[in-house]
Structure 1
Amino acid sequence: MKSKILELADEANIPADHVYEVNMSEKTNALNAYVTGIGANKRIVLWDTTLNKLDDSEILFIMGHEMGHYVMKHVYIGLAGYLLVSLAGFYVIDKLYKRTVRLTRSMFHLEGRHDLAALPLLLLLFSVLSFAVTPFSNAVSRYQENKADQYGIELTENREAAVKTFQDLAVTGLSQVDPPVLVKIFRGSHPSIMERIQHAEKEENAPEHQDADK
C-alpha cells in the first residue's frame, strides 16, 4: 500500500518518501488522512482506522482526495479567507458595538463601551455575525470538497472506489445521507453523502487534474 500511495503522490507531483501511520483507533472510529508540510518536509499521513476499515482502492481514493486539497492549496486559501473575513468582521462589530451601546446606554445604565456591563452586547454581536457568516464559509468548504473529490477520481481513475468510500463513510460516521436543506446550509462543511455519490457517478470527461507546480 505504501508504494501505491507514493506512486499516486508522484503522479500528483507531490515529493514524498514516506507514508506515516498514526494510531488513533484507541481514541476514535473516525477515518482520516492528510498531506501536510512544505518543501522537503511534506508528509503523507494515514490514521490506522482508515487502513483497518477501507480496502486498498478506497484508501487510494481518499489519498487522492487529500492530495487534491494539497495541490489546490485549499488550506492556504482557507487561512487567507479566514483572516480577511475576521478583519472585516472586527470592523463591522466595532461599528455596530459603538452604535448599540449608544442606543442602549440609558436602558442598561451603561457608562460607555468600555463598561464591563456592555460585554454581553459585544458577545451577542460576535454570535450574530458568526451565525450570519456560517452559510458562506460552509459553501466555500463544500466547493473545495467537491473539487478534491473530482481530483481524487481523476487521479485514481476509479469512480467506483469513490462511491464505495462515501458509502462506508456514511456507515462509519453515522451521518445523514441526505440531510434537510437548512442543515446543509448551516452545518454542512462537506457535501452530503448523497450529493458526493451523485457527483462521482456523473463525473465524466473532466479535465485532467492540476499540476502541483501551478
Structure 2
Amino acid sequence: MMLIRGPGVYRPQADTRLLARAVAGAGIPASSHVLDVCTGTGALAIAAARLPVKAVTAVDISRTALASAWLNCRVRGIRPELVHGDFRSVLHGRTFDVIVSNPPYVPCPEDEKSTGAARCWNGGVDGRAPIDALCARVPDLLSVSGTFLMVHSTLCGVDETLDRLRTSGLKAATVARETIPFGPVMRDRASWLAARGLIRPRQTYEELVVIRADRPRK
C-alpha cells in the first residue's frame, strides 16, 4: 500500500503489516467504532475502515502525522475522525469497541532525545514507556465488549504486557508472532542492546508479537 508520509512520520513496516493482518482476522463486528492510537500515516485506520465497521477515529501527537493520515485517507475516500494530542490525555469520557496501536517500543539510551523521526520508535530505556501508558489507559477507553490489539517487540517484555492487561481486568493473549531481521535503528543500537542483555551478541533479528485483550464475557 503506497502511503504519503510527511517528515518524521513512521513508515509502515513489518510490525504494521502484522497488526493489520491481526485486525483483519479479529472478527470485528460491523457495528464497531475503532480507535487507532499513534496512527502515523493512518495505515491501520485505513485497514480498519476497509472492514465493515461503523466508524474510525485516529489519534496522534504529531500534526505532521495527522496531516499524512488525512491525505492517505482522503485519496481512498475514507473519512475518519482525526484527533491531535497525547492518547494519555485526550478522548476522556469516550469509549471504543476496538482499539489498535503500533506504539513506539524500541529501547533507547536515557540520554537520547526522542525528537523528529526518533519519536516514532523510541520507547524509553526499556522500550515500555508508551506500552505501559497504553495498558493503563485502554481499560477506560474500551466499551463493555471491547477488544484491544497492539504490536510490539519481544525485547520489551511480552509477559509484562499480558500481566498489566490482565491485572486491569482484561482477558489477554498473544495472537500472532513474526521474526524479522533488524532494520537500521536496531542495527545501530545492537551493541547497546547486547550490553544491556536485551539481545545476544551479534544477534541480527527480533520477534514481533500482537497482543489481544478483551473484556471478559459476562
Q: Which has the higher strand share?
A: 2
Q: Which has the higher helix share?
A: 1
TM-score range, shorter chain: under 0.3
**Larger of the two Rg values belongs to structure:** 1
Provide TM-score, normalisation by structure 2: 0.26
Provide TM-score, normalisation by structure 1: 0.27
Which fold has the larger relative contact order, with Cα–Cα distance below 8 Å and residues 6 or more apart in sequence? 1
